[in-house]
Amino acid sequence: MASPTILLIEDDADDAALIVDGLARAIPREHVAVCRHGSAALDFLQRRGEFANRADDLPILALIDVGLPQPDGFAVLREIRSEPGARLLPVTLLSASDDPQDVRMAAELGANSFVRKPADRRQLAERLEQLARYWLELNIPPPCGTGQ
């Protein structure tokens, strides 16, 4: 089995660095793939364009920033759920807000979870470590469809 990978879809370089730092408590940094926009992430998942020769399996988890520029995080989630090869990929939406309408939309579109990004760096790191450990250590992925 290939090493587990987390796909992070985050347009803000500073936020991406903070998130990767938080995840590094649970998974080596080299196992976190970062895409700066939704179309790059879809190319990554579908092995298109610059990712056409990507040899590893689908990631164990996709983390998507809700506030991506077009397409936004909800549109990326919608696309992932429409792709047969990625339909079962666990997806967590990340947002600085916990707006109930956003949480509901995420659930309706098939997000596995919705996590608010706290402003405090230490809290963010702890939250992301817990999130990664859940998906990497506790969750039992489906036997087919997620590259596992």
pLDDT greater than 80 at residue 135: yes
For range 103-132, the mean pLDDT: 94
For range 10-17, the mean pLDDT: 93
68/65 Cα distance (integer angstroms)? 6
pLDDT in tens, 56-88: 778 999 999 999 987 899 999 999 999 888 889
pLDDT reported for residue 146:
42
Q: Where do the structural domains in the chain lie, given as residue ranges?
A: 6-138
pLDDT reported for residue 3:
61
Mean pLDDT of the chain: 89
pLDDT reported for residue 115:
95
Report the CATH number of the 6-138 domain. 3.40.50.2300
pLDDT greater than 60 at residue 17: yes
Judged by average pLDDT, the poorest of 48-52, 53-57, 69-73 is 53-57
For range 28-47, the mean pLDDT: 91
Q: What is the DSSP string of 72-126?
A: -HHHHHHHHHH-TTTTT--EEEEES---HHHHHHHHHTT-SEEEE--SSHHHHHH
pLDDT greater than 90 at residue 103: yes
pLDDT reported for residue 4:
65
